[in-house]
Structure 1
Amino acid sequence: MVQAKASRGLKICCGVIVVLVIVAIVFTILALTLFKPKNPEITVYPQGLENIGLGSGGVLNASTINSTVAMVVTVNNRNYGTFKFKNATGFINYRGDVVARVPIQQSVVPARGKFNISTVADFMVERLIMNATFWADVLSGSVNFSSDATLHGKVTMFKVLKIHASALSRCDLSIFIRTRNIQSICKTRIKL
């Protein structure tokens, strides 16, 4: 009888261990595949570029440049967790010099969804137009900028698991003067 109870206890213990091992394997596989953090896709859309005019001789008129440019930043979150980030500031650079600041209001990017962030870029026009290469770029037909932003916050999965994370974004922006079109190529990575 004692031997039967011990055998039954051993079977239960082995069964529990097998179930725990299977659950651990399933969670590990999900964490390495389905729930593995994916970098979000970010696209920047400056608004109001149609207001930039060309002066006499095809040269951009400094008086027509607004000191603020409205922007819409689209974030495509490809992850299964929501990302709630704090207020941040992005920077727009022209040939290594910071020429604009972009305030980013805190918000929540939904899991597996797209989210638009409306903001403005506050340009330091004097710094931009005093750069010796700016006018040469304007005359060539395109002006290239880069932008950097870091968003600090938390990723929440299944409303239970919360992890501190940062989204680091770098965009290369090309403004084509004559057509007033813009091309943005952004690279973003998540740091947990």
Structure 2
Amino acid sequence: MKSGSIPMSSTTSSRRRGLLICCGVTALILIVAASIIVTLAFTVFKPKEPEITARPAGLENIEYSLSPNVTMNVTVDMIITIDNGKNYGSFKFKNTTAYVNYRGDVVAEVPIKHSLVPARGKLNITSPADFMLGKVISNPSFSEDFLSGSLNLTSTATLHGKVGLFKVVKMRATALSTCDISVFVIDREVQSKCESKLKL
């Protein structure tokens, strides 16, 4: 062996040590990056409740029957607005049905077709609802409510879907909405107040 030459075992050991250091640093960077992403996903970018509102739009059709029982059905367009402006993630939901109740009785069903609400965006859905006015009128409290000038309805909807964050993170989510709808008979005005919850 010539003087001043580096032993082969020493060179191999140095390369191995350098490779281990490189792998260790890379793994550490990946762990830190993953921790930051997870932390942001559950803090700053944590999905929040979308604002879901429902209100009647226009009268489409009236059907009635006098025999054998008096029945009357009215088709009303319902506008359902899903405001996702507080969220950095999109929300894709499946087909579902909203229900309108009067004094504990279901008086209308509103089909809601599957759709995608963009991140920090808004979606308006117009869907026809067949109101069973016969069930409303036959309710023992109808006369009292009508004479008081307002009918109070409640709509409920459950939207099952997925929240997508930056097209990378996807989480199953369920959005629940309850709306109190007041129909003022004399003024022919409708007011609604809604509350929404998001379950992950």
Alignment partner, residue 80 of structure 2: 73
Equivalent positions of 1:87-106 (< 5 A) are: 87-106=95-114
Normalised TM-score (structure 2): 0.78
Corresponding position of 1:21: 31
Distance in 2 of aligned mates of 1:6 and 1:48: 76
169-178 vs 115-124, which deviates more? 169-178
> What are the Cα deviations for residues 73-94 of structure 1, in whole angstroms up to 9, with x where unaligned?
1110132232222221111011
What residue number does 2:56 align with?
A: 46
Alignment partner of 1:155 out of 163, 173, 176:
163
State the distance in 1 between where 2:164 and 2:16 align.
44
Figure out how many residues of one structure are paired with residues of the other and give that number.
179
Q: CA RMSD in A?
A: 2.4
Q: Which residue of structure 1 aligns with residue 45 of structure 2?
A: 35
Q: Which has the larger radius of gyration?
A: 2
Matches within 5 A, 1:64-143: 67-77=74-84, 78-143=86-151
What code does the residue aligned with 1:128 have?
A: V
* Alignment TM-score, normalising by the size of structure 1: 0.81
From the two aligned structures, give the one with the greater helix fraction. 1
Q: Once the two structures are aligned, what percentage of the paired residues are identical?
A: 51
Structure (1/2) with the larger strand percentage: 2
- Aligned AA for 1:124? M
| Residue segments in structure 2 that go unaligned for 5+ positions in a row | 1-9, 60-69
Q: Secondary structure at the match of 1:38?
A: coil
